Amino acid sequence: MHPHSSSTSSSEADAPRERRRRWATLLWALLWLIVLDVGASLAFAFPADVKNVNPGKLQLFFDYGRSMEARVRRMTRADPNQTAPITLAGWYSPLKAVERPAQPGAVPITVYGMSHAVRLADALHSEFPNYAVRTVAGPGATTNWSFGAFRRDTGNRASKVVVLAIMSSTLPEITSMTPMTWNVSFPLAYTQDRYFIDGAGKLQVVTPPYESFADYTATLNDPQKWAAAVAKFQRYDPFYDPLMFRATPLDHSTLVRLARRAWINKRDRETASDVLTAKSFNPDSEAVKVANAIIAEFAATARRNGQLPVIYIVNNYGYGNQLFRALRMTIQRDRIPYLSSDTVVDPNNPANYLPDTHFTDENDRRLAQALDRVIADNLAR
């Protein structure tokens, strides 16, 4: 029998040492990851003041991936005087309307929508004192929220004109029940109607589990009620994702938050591309079908109320006029008056937009002039 060579014995002896070195390297790497994770969490901690929801850019960056439940719990207090102001916005009950001063005999008009719609209303008020301009709006409001507000708004009966805004960048989210399931930039707590089209082609609605700030805080602080509300979001809101929504101890990890943020951004890009892009739209997507059904029902309801309906189509930068194209057949079929921003503002020119995505003041003024022409032409008929 041949004796073992010295080289073989040496390699066998070195193997355990090599494994120990690898394990030591891995453990040191994990340790430093933990140190960096904890250090980043401490260095860029979100302010303790619940009313400070817009601190420095780095604090916001590292917080975007925190679960939505954790974020709304952090900023919500049952006392309206103590809670973050953003938690008080957008509720259906009570529905808040802003009425601007008007001269006697001014034509009453109500505008429903998001901040872009409010800016248009402000410009209309400034340019044309012959209108009594009223707005019902929610931050980041999608058109299903706005239509739900219109349906609940008993204060608009004096309005001769009602305007419903719809925006290209949030068209996919028209099937959501709350911004908590999709708006990672701003943790908005309010809820909205979920519309869908039944087998007979009719527009149907599922109302949210709560519609007021008081009911929201009562639900949030009651585990059974909150579980029931989350279950309703999960059932009816296609944007609901437990990884993004539910709070867990992993919310304390900076690395987990960054990974979650990357996942959310990827999901949102894929969802948007299935509905609307700068070059096309998907007529078979639920969002496009629901949007067309909503504007048709809005126009029909307004006309039954003796009001002139107008659709305000906001084409965001980079989307071209694809939103108008997605709605054009319904607008033409039902002869609905409309203002599509691309007829006034080139949606492919970044100079036409502010850094926060709104139109420039001058463009809002031009859009107000165009809206005045739409209203005047149709009221005269």
Left, alpha or beta for 201 (phi > 0: left; psi -120 to 50: alpha)?
left
Q: What is the pLDDT along the chain (381 residues), one digit of tens a residue?
A: 455 555 555 555 566 666 666 665 655 555 555 555 455 454 455 556 666 666 666 555 667 778 899 989 989 999 999 999 999 999 999 999 999 999 999 999 999 999 999 999 999 999 999 999 999 999 999 999 999 999 999 988 899 999 999 999 999 999 999 999 998 877 899 999 999 999 888 999 999 999 999 999 999 999 999 999 999 999 999 999 998 899 888 877 777 777 888 888 888 888 888 898 878 899 999 999 999 999 999 999 999 999 999 999 999 999 999 999 999 999 999 999 999 999 999 999 999 999 999 999 999 999 999 999 999 999 977
Angle between helices 286-304 and 143-152 (to 10 degrees): 20
CA angle 96, 369, 108 (to 5 degrees): 40
Instruction: List, in sequence order, every beta strand (DSSP E) within 168-323.
Output: 194-197, 203-206, 308-314
Which of 252, 248, 258 lies closest to 64 in space, CA to CA?
A: 258
